[in-house]
Amino acid sequence: MASAASPQRPGYYQLSAWLACTHSSFANYTAISRFPYVPGPPASSCSRPACKSSVQGRRNKTCDCAIRAAFVSVGIDPKKERLRWHPDRFAGVVGESRRGEFQEAAREIFVVLGGMC
């Protein structure tokens, strides 16, 4: 009986393209219409129990260890990158519900990056 393959983490080129997209999107936070979620496998597929249990109530469906791995693989400085993801930067996003969603998602990434500093 074959087991289901675990989802693959995105490669360097996919992550680099995503990071470039965030740079252009973050040039004007108020114009962002779609949050740039970190690409990666869902937290429910992670082998770490802490990741599986933390998926409830999260905006980012990618687990913290995959988010951390994504930033490490593209060679970012977590201190500098953390500033770009500060939730207050998303305060000007148009639409109250979207603004709250974006700030919550950004906060989750901000916390992961803070743990990398």
1 within some domain: no
Sign, Cα dihedral of 56, 61, 67, 69: positive
Q: What are the φ/ψ torsions at residue 62 (nearest 5 degrees)?
A: -85, 135
Give the predicted TM-score (pTM) of the model.
Answer: 0.84
pLDDT band at 9 (very low <50, low <70, confident <90, very high): confident
Burial class for 66, CB neighbours closer than 10 Å (0-12, 13-18, 19+): buried
What's the pLDDT tens digit per position in 71-110?
999 999 999 999 999 999 999 998 888 999 999 999 999 9
32 within some domain: no
58 within some domain: yes
65 within some domain: yes
For residue 4, pLDDT beyond 60: no
Q: Can you give the residue range of the structural domain that contains 22?
A: 12-26+38-116
Total domain count, the chain = 1
Q: What are the φ/ψ torsions at residue 42 (nearest 5 degrees)?
A: -65, 150
Burial class for 107, CB neighbours closer than 10 Å (0-12, 13-18, 19+): middle
111 within some domain: yes
What's the pLDDT tens digit per position in 15-59?
999 999 999 999 999 999 999 999 887 766 777 777 765 667 788
> Under 8 Å CB-to-CB from 17, ≥6 apart: which residues?
none
57 within some domain: yes
6 within some domain: no
31 within some domain: no
The share of the chain scoring above pLDDT 70, in percent, equals 86
